[in-house]
C-alpha cells in the first residue's frame, strides 16, 4: 500500500469518527431541547438533566446555529416555540419514543430471557425425570427455543454446535465446565423366558458363559459386582450381540437374547409385569453419574447457566 492510499484511508477514518461525534452532539442537543419544552424553562430542564441552566441554553443555541433557524422565543416569563421549533419538537419526540421503546424491549428481554439452546443427551435419558426438568424449564421461559438431540452415539459439543452436553459415566468431580446432576442405578436383567431355560447360579462368576448383550464401545469393559458383605466379583463376559443404543440393548434382552446391564428405569415396568427379571439382585453394580458439560466461555449469567441451575434440581436417582 503506497503512502497516498494509506493517507487517504486515515483521512476517511478520521472523517467518519468526526461525523459520528457530531451526530451524537446533535442528538444530545435535540433531547435537551425537548426536555426544555417539557419543563417550560431552562432551569427546569437543567434540574431534570443535572446540568446548569447555562449549559442547557448553550446546547439549544448550538442547535439553532447549526440549523440556521430560531427554535424558541425567549422572554423573562416563558418560552414559546417558533414554527420551526414546533416541527423539530414533533420529530424529536418520535425519535425519543422510538429509543425509549427499544430500551424497554431490551429490558423486557433481560427479564424474560430469549434465545436458543441446543442440548445433546443419551437417548436412555428420554425415560428419566430430566425430561420433566427440561419441560418445566421450557414452560418457565417460553422465549427460549430448546433443541434436544437424544443419541447414545456421543456427539461433539463444539463441532456439532451444542450449548450443553449431558453425559453418562463414572462419578466425576464438579469443575468450572462440568457438573454432576444425578445418579442412575444399573441392574442386570434378562427375560423370564430366557431365565427359565438356565441353571440356577449363586454368584456373578456363574454367568460368564451365558448369552450376553452389550453396549459398544464399552462391550469389553469388565463389570464389578458387589454383595452386601462387600465381596467383589469382576466379570468380563463375551457378547454375541452388541448395540450402540441403550434402549435397543434392553429390547434385545427383553426379547430373550441374553443378559444385559441396563439403567433400572428401562426395566422396572416389565419387572412388575413379570416379562423381565433382575438377575442376582443381591449383587449390586456401580451407579453411573449423569453430568453436564459446557463451553468454558459460556457467560455466567447466560442461557446455559440458567438451564444448568434448573437441571441441578433433578432427582438424585433417575430410576424413580
Whole-angstrom CA distances from 204 to 30, 154, 246, 279, 292 are 84, 30, 22, 9, 32
State the pLDDT at residue 26.
85
Task: Tell me the pLDDT tens digit for each residue of 224-243.
Answer: 999 998 899 999 888 889 99
State the pLDDT at residue 96.
83
State the pLDDT at residue 316.
43
State the pLDDT at residue 15.
59
Integer Cα distance of 68 and 87 in angstroms: 14
pLDDT surpasses 60 at 55? yes
Integer Cα distance of 21 and 35 in angstroms: 21
| Residues 131-158, mean pLDDT to the nearest whole number | 92
- Whether residue 93 is preceded by a cis peptide bond, meaning omega within 30 degrees of 0, is no
pTM above threshold 0.75:
no
The DSSP call for residue 173 is -
Q: Name the E strands within 95-228.
A: 115-121, 144-150, 164-169, 178-184, 186-191, 213-215, 223-226
State the pLDDT at residue 214.
92
State the pLDDT at residue 77.
72
The DSSP call for residue 277 is E
State the pLDDT at residue 205.
94
Task: Tell me the pLDDT tens digit for each residue of 187-205.
Answer: 999 999 999 999 999 999 9
pLDDT surpasses 50 at 314? no
Q: Which of 195, 167, 209 is nearest to 270 (CA)?
A: 195
Confidence of residue 319 (pLDDT cuts 50, 70, 90): very low
DSSP of 50-86: T--HHHHHHHHHHHHHHHTS--EEE-SS-EEE-HHHH
Amino acid at each position: 500500500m503506497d503512502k497516498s492510499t494509506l493517507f487517504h484511508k486515515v483521512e476517511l477514518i478520521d472523517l467518519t469518527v468526526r461525523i459520528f461525534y457530531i451526530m451524537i452532539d446533535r442528538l444530545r442537543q435535540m433531547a435537551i431541547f425537548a426536555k426544555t419544552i417539557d419543563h417550560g424553562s431552562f432551569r427546569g430542564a437543567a434540574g431534570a438533566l443535572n446540568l446548569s441552566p447555562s449549559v442547557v441554553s448553550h446546547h439549544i443555541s448550538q442547535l439553532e446555529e447549526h440549523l440556521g433557524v430560531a427554535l424558541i422565543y425567549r422572554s423573562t416569563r416563558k418560552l414559546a416555540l417558533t414554527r420551526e421549533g414546533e416541527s423539530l419538537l414533533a420529530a424529536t419526540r418520535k425519535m425519543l419514543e422510538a429509543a425509549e421503546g427499544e430500551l424497554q424491549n431490551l429490558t423486557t428481554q433481560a427479564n424474560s430471557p430469549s434465545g436458543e439452546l441446543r442440548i445433546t443427551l443419551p437417548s436412555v435419558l428420554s425415560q428419566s425425570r430430566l425430561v420433566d426438568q427440561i419441560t418445566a424449564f421450557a414452560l418457565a421461559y417460553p422465549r427460549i427455543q430448546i433443541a434436544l438431540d437424544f443419541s447414545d452415539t456421543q456427539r461433539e459439543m463444539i463441532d456439532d454446535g451444542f450449548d450443553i452436553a449431558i453425559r453418562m459415566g463414572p462419578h466425576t468431580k464438579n469443575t468450572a465446565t462440568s457438573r454432576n446432576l444425578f445418579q442412575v442405578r444399573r441392574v442386570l436383567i434378562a427375560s423370564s423366558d430366557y431365565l427359565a431355560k438356565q441353571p440356577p447360579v449363586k454368584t456373578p462368576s456363574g454367568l460368564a458363559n451365558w448369552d450376553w448383550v452389550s453396549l459398544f464401545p464399552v462391550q469389553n469393559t469388565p463389570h464389578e459386582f458387589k454383595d452386601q458383605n462387600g465381596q467383589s466379583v469382576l466379570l468380563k463376559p463375551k457378547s454375541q450381540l452388541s448395540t450402540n443404543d441403550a434402549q435397543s440393548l434392553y429390547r434385545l434382552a427383553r426379547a430373550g437374547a441374553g443378559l444385559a446391564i441396563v439403567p433400572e428405569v428401562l426395566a422396572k415396568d416389565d419387572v412388575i409385569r413379570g416379562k423381565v427379571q433382575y438377575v442376582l439382585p443381591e449383587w449390586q453394580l456401580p451407579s453411573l453419574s449423569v453430568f453436564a458439560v459446557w463451553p468454558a466461555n459460556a457467560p455466567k449469567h447466560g442461557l446455559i447457566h440458567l438451564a444448568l441451575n434448573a437441571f441441578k434440581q433433578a432427582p438424585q436417582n433417575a430410576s424413580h
